[in-house]
Amino acid sequence: MKMDMTTQGIQAAQPYVAAKSSTASKVVARGVNVHYGEKHALKDVSVDVPDQAVMAFIGPSGCGKSTFLRCINRMNDTIPICRVTGKIEIDSKDIYDPSLDVVQLRARVGMVFQKPNPFPKSIYENVAYGPRIHGLAKSKTDLDEIVQTSLEKAGLFKEVKDRLNDSGTGLSGGQQQRLCIARAIAVSPDVILMDEPCSALDPIATAKIEELIDELRSNFCIIIVTHSMQQAARVSQRTAFFHLGILVEEGETETIFTNPRDERTRDYITGRFG
């Protein structure tokens, strides 16, 4: 039943993706299971994420949406007791293939965390670190350009251009989060994962980040985990609802919010449980 529904969702999604973007699904997950020791945290999740679009993962706390997000750049590898089975492909390449280098994967799949976590270094160094370790800049001017472009794309350059050498931790919360986004896009990733990027921010900063996500959509495949259904409705094109480690329903955001098929989805988005 569950499996059917997911497949249906994907099938239903296909025309939408095709209409919205010329490329096929960027990230394809099939039968992903995650165990934390004895705990079965994520049960048989299959989902397709379109390119150049924003996909939102919603669901109550502990439903496995962040766990799934962290599977996409293999951040769960750092947790010793975590075990991932199933298949996740990015651009039709299995990212759990033993021959694949996880560091290179993470360079292609950027991540923005719940709490802004700039390095306690200068703003410039924060953005320049990624390109530098991956050898993306040939010269100092090259690197300067990457930093400037990334900060511009993150909508932060105007605010910080006179104090690039000040510490990144001295910025406000919203600015720090945009700095983290600039840091993520500085290595030109294909996919950007955002784990509740606005949960620690005030409404104005949140609005700025949402605006930024909307702009970035044209260049990246963005997956965002959020607790705010309004945010999911505002920024995403597709939404997936997780509950107790199961992907309950997935589809066009508008459909999910106006006409959910599953009762649990309906209950959740109407605020009857959470």
Residues that bind other proteins (CB under 8 A): 60, 73, 75, 78, 80, 103-104, 106-108, 110-113, 115, 117-120, 129-130, 133-134, 169, 180, 183-184, 186-187, 267-268, 271-274
CB of residue 130 vs other proteins: minimum separation in angstroms?
4
Name the residue nearer to other proteins (CB basis): 43 or 108: 108
CB of residue 103 vs other proteins: minimum separation in angstroms?
5
Name the residue nearer to other proteins (CB basis): 18 or 133: 133
Tokens encoding 216: 């970035």
Give the angle subtended at the CA of 111 by the CAs of 127 and 225, to the nearest 5°: 140
Name the residue nearer to other proteins (CB basis): 6 or 188: 188
CB 68 within 8 A of CB 88: no
CB of residue 79 vs other proteins: minimum separation in angstroms?
11
CB of residue 45 vs other proteins: minimum separation in angstroms?
22
Name the residue nearer to other proteins (CB basis): 10 or 102: 102
Name the residue nearer to other proteins (CB basis): 144 or 267: 267
User: Which amino acid is residue 264, in one-letter code?
Assistant: R
Name the residue nearer to other proteins (CB basis): 17 or 225: 225
CB of residue 180 vs other proteins: minimum separation in angstroms?
7
CB of residue 207 vs other proteins: minimum separation in angstroms?
22
